[in-house]
DNA sequence: CGGACTCTTGATTGCAGTCAACTAAAGTGG
DNA sequence: CCACTTTAGTTGACTGCAATCAAGAGTCCG
């Protein structure tokens, strides 16, 4: 059983079996976080990168007035920081939304691996690009989309991200977060999330109950939410070669 | 006269004179864009990274319904994409807000330079980190701050970013964008930007006229906007060494 | 079985959008 | 250099989306 990390990275580069073994070998140091507990808190000085293996987490920030904003959701296979970046201190938290199993990766090890192996380098840079564009689309949602569209768009995004790591199929997926947490991600109140959910249900698009999202008409939902999956960079042609392969790195 | 790029990167690493000469040598290929024209449009396949040398630009996306969201402002010294990332195609635009002078950088050249020079590597990763956290804070603003706070927060951020490259002092700075564009960045209508501006003026914090922002009481504005500059990662201790220096790279 | 979340719905409030008219500034061309 | 046009800024009136407040129902869990 390949790890979700490897499954996702396959979207960004052609990986050989040896590449995949190398990548899986990174997850030596396994850790566990309980639901609603911080993996990293504001002010912490992280010593390693966090790779989510199982469960859901998020990057979130609590404001002075007690309001919370979820900046990003992290799903199995997600690296909470791009591969070469280790912040000297955190100014927000990484919080487990469910029980989470994660690995701690050493950035120097990752970067050394990237330096020696251009496929892995390309995959890691691809992952960093995809993570940035996720943020961009989040800004677009919060800035210019209405509540119902935001919610629908998020569902489409989560579905594609989960499908890539084998955690969603055509019928739906497990959505283990509260409506309050959806609101914290979408800049909405829990009450309004509930009402928007009702609207999506009454339109016959989805049904959320018992922490599972049933997709009743995915295509209609995508159209309604103006969802264009290009920003996820899935299944795309690999990032073009000329500019990508480091001058000295030659793959055999 | 050192370039704004170098001035900014000094915030992220100790750069020797030779490092700075190397970095300035990157900006060989100079280009020019007129105000309101795209540097890259949606669908383009960029062949190089864009470094803003003079003028203001932005990353923006036009939605199907004609609404626009500005995802990020780019100021002199800003790299529009992190140093190792060259998207295979653009799914949004990079647009000049004023007349812009920019350089085209080859990612392989940048990465080769980073590989040989650990100070430069650290500076470039630092820049990528700072750019990501800018995005995070943008999400927080759009999700959880009120209009007036958003505007005030943006002014504080722009002031610090411009000050680092020598384009702002205590009295204010040139703000060469329309109120409509401020609204497109903050998820507000131009009318509401105007009203919020009036409120900030009536509170005695700032005064915006003829494309210049006068800072009348910067500290009060920062307090009012709950502005915590930590996310800009300026003047911080350099990113810590142990995890950062690549195993084989030794600086002399 | 009790207590704590979470979800749901209704009533009310308020922040920000839209529409519209007018002023000010900045270009443009004769 | 001055009419004319266009773009940007300003203000008022009204509307509407989403927040808040509140209460009840449903679930989960010890």
Question: Quick check: is B197 in a domain?
Answer: no
Q: Residue A142's pLDDT is what?
A: 98
- Same domain for A177 and A104: no
Q: Residue B116's pLDDT is what?
A: 95
Q: Are A136 and B59 in contact (CB under 8 A)?
A: yes
| Dist CA A159 CA A152 (whole Å) | 11
- Same domain for A96 and A20: yes
pLDDT band at B163 (very low <50, low <70, confident <90, very high): very high
Q: Which residue lies nearest C7, CA-to-C1' measured?
A: A194
**CA-to-C1' distance for B67 and D15, Å?**
20
Q: Is the model's pLDDT at B243 over the cut of 50? A: no
Q: Residue B237's pLDDT is what?
A: 45
Question: Quick check: is B207 in a domain?
Answer: no
Question: Quick check: is B81 in a domain?
Answer: yes
Q: Is the model's pLDDT at B242 over the cut of 70? A: no
Listing from the earlier edge strand, what are the strands of the sheet with B100-105? B29-33, B100-105, B49-54
Higher pLDDT, B247 or B42: B42
Q: How far is the alpha carbon of A51 from chain B, nearest alpha carbon, in Å?
A: 17
Q: Which positions in strand C are less than 7 Å from the protein's CB atoms?
A: 5-11, 15-20, 25-26
- Same domain for A106 and A30: yes
Q: Residue A2's pLDDT is what?
A: 87
Q: Residue A236's pLDDT is what?
A: 54
Which residues of B fall within a CB distance of 8 Å from A243? 47-48, 86, 106-108
Question: Quick check: is A152 in a domain?
Answer: yes
- Partners of B68 in the beta sheet? B62
Q: Are B159 and B215 in contact (CB under 8 A)?
A: yes
Pairing of strands B100-105, B68-74: unpaired
User: pLDDT tens digit string along B187-213?
Assistant: 999 999 999 999 999 999 999 999 999
Which residues of B fall within a CB distance of 8 Å from A84? 84, 125, 128
Q: Which of residues 208-247 of A touch strand C (CB under 7 A)?
A: 208-209, 211
Domain boundary among A117, A133, A161: A117
- Same domain for A187 and A78: no
Domain CATH code at residue B90: 2.60.120.10
Question: Quick check: is B75 in a domain?
Answer: yes
Q: How many domains does chain A have?
A: 2
Higher pLDDT, B209 or B246: B209
Q: How far is the alpha carbon of B74 from chain A, nearest alpha carbon, in Å?
A: 14
Q: What is the largest CA-CA distance in chain B?
A: 58
- Same domain for A228 and A190: yes
Q: Residue B32's pLDDT is what?
A: 96
Average pLDDT along chain B = 92
> Domain residues for A194?
145-236
User: pLDDT tens digit string along B148-159?
Assistant: 999 999 999 999
Q: Which of residues 39-78 of B touch strand C (CB under 7 A)?
A: none
Q: Which of residues 155-184 of A touch strand C (CB under 7 A)?
A: 178-180
Q: Residue A51's pLDDT is what?
A: 98
Residue A55 corresponds to which tokens in the numbers above?
A: 């469960």
- CA A77 from chain center: how many Å? 8
Q: Residue A235's pLDDT is what?
A: 75
Collect the ranges in chain A with pLDDT lower than 70: 236-252
pLDDT band at B235 (very low <50, low <70, confident <90, very high): confident
Domain CATH code at residue A211: 1.10.10.10
Q: Residue B236's pLDDT is what?
A: 54
Average pLDDT along chain A = 92
- Nearest nucleotide to B193 (CA to C1') is C16
Strand D–CB B190 distance below 7 A: yes
- Same domain for A165 and A100: no
Q: Residue A38's pLDDT is what?
A: 96
Question: Quick check: is B221 in a domain?
Answer: no
Q: Residue A85's pLDDT is what?
A: 85
Q: How far is the alpha carbon of A130 from chain B, nearest alpha carbon, in Å?
A: 9
User: pLDDT tens digit string along A57-108?
Assistant: 999 999 999 999 999 999 999 999 999 889 999 999 999 999 999 999 999 9
Give the closest residue to B33 by CA, choosing from B126, B130, B99: B99
Question: Quick check: is B12 in a domain?
Answer: yes
- Same domain for A152 and A56: no
Alpha carbon separation from A39 to A27, A35, A90, B130, B176 (Å, rounded) = 16, 10, 11, 21, 42
- Same domain for A188 and A76: no
Measured between CA atoms, the residue of chain A closest to residue B247 is A108
Q: Is the model's pLDDT at B248 over the cut of 80? A: no
Question: Quick check: is B91 in a domain?
Answer: yes
């Amino acid at each position: 059983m390949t790890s979700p990390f490897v499954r996702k990275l396959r979207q960004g580069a052609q990986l050989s079996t040896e590449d995949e073994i190398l990548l899986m070998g990174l997850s030596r140091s396994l850790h566990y976080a309980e639901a609603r507990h911080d993996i990293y808190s504001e002010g912490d000085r992280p010593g390693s990168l966090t790779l989510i293996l199982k469960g859901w987490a998020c990057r979130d920030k609590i404001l002075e007035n007690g309001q919370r904003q979820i900046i990003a959701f992290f799903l199995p296979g997600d690296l909470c920081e791009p591969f070469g970046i280790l912040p000297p201190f955190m100014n927000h938290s990484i919080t487990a939304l469910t029980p989470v199993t994660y690995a701690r990766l050493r950035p120097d090890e990752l970067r050394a691996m990237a330096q020696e192996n251009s496929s892995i380098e390309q995959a890691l840079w691809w992952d960093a690009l995809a993570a940035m564009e996720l943020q961009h689309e989040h800004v677009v949602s919060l800035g210019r989309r209405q509540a119902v569209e935001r919610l629908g768009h998020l569902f489409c995004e989560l579905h594609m991200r989960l499908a890539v790591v084998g955690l969603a199929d055509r019928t739906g997926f497990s959505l283990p977060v509260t409506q309050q947490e959806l609101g914290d991600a979408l800049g909405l109140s829990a009450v309004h999330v509930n009402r928007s959910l009702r609207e999506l249900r009454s339109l016959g698009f989805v049904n959320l109950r018992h922490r599972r999202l049933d997709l009743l008409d995915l295509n209609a939902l995508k159209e309604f939410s103006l969802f264009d999956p290009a920003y996820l960079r899935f299944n795309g042609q690999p990032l073009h070669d000329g500019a990508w392969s480091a001058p000295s790195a030659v793959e055999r």
